[in-house]
Amino acid sequence: MNTGGIATTNCFLVADENARQAVLFDAPNDTAAPLLEEARKRRWDVIGLWLTHGHFDHLADHAVVTSGFPGAKVLIHRLDEPKLLRPNSGTFPLPFTIPPRRPDGYLEDGQTLSIGSLKATVIHTPGHAPGHVMFHFPEQQMLIGGDLIIGGAVGRSDLPDSDPAALYASIRRVMQLPPETRLLPGHGQPGTLGEELETNPYVRAAMGMAAGAPDELQY
């Protein structure tokens, strides 16, 4: 895990050490390079950059990843592809320019992806962004979550293509996973789904356990 960029965003490097294969999940600006260097030191081949969604703070370093590991495949959900094709046309003005690119492939709900022997299932979780996805590793009880649930809060749903109702529906779907599932969020510290159910007012509201949640969403 490394955290950085102008939105203090997390990215994660996940590897099958025996197979010497790794994937980077999200690429905030000025944040991917230390994880790529760690992969080189361990002689891991970074085979992919798998994006939870297309907001600038999750893909800004995509060219850093593919320049260091030209074989890394950039994957995103089709509904968020426009953000990768036009990464500098978002809501927020940026102090840097993100190079546009086409993805190497698309992520789809229910799709199974492999990192060596590790298996991840793609879960489409719209709301914060229409093409937002999460990556569930059932054997490892791990969920790379992007900005759906982010350590006591949830992704903001007041953006032009966000949808509050879809966000809460996605939360309800994800919370069907075992409570001991380790959540690696796009912002904040890792925790478990069970901890979020106990302490996160947005999750509790989505699950019908509270009358409502605070008005402000974080990211």
Please write the tens of the pLDDT for every residue from 98-112.
999 999 999 999 999
pLDDT for res 142: 98
pLDDT score at 189: 95
**pLDDT exceeds 70 at position 218:** no
Instruction: Tell me the percentage of the chain whose pLDDT exceeds 70.
Output: 95
**Six token digits for residue 7:** 């939105």
Amino acid identity for residue 143 in this structure: L
CB 13 within 8 A of CB 35: yes
CB 8, CB 19: distance < 8 Å: no
Tell me the two tokens of residue 66.
């593919």
pLDDT band, residue 126 (cuts 50/70/90): very high
- Count CA atoms within 13 Å of residue 196 on its CB side: 33
Mean of the per-residue pLDDT values of the chain: 94
Under 8 Å between Cβ of 75 and 48? yes
Q: Cα separation of 189 and 186, whole Å?
A: 9
Determine the Cα–Cα distance for residues 194 and 18; give it in Å rounded to an integer: 31
Q: Rounded distance, CA 157 to CA 169, Å?
A: 13
Between CA 30 and CA 9 the distance in angstroms is: 10
Q: Are 46 and 53 in contact (CB under 8 A)?
A: no
- Rounded Cα–Cα distance for residues 217 and 157 (Å): 7
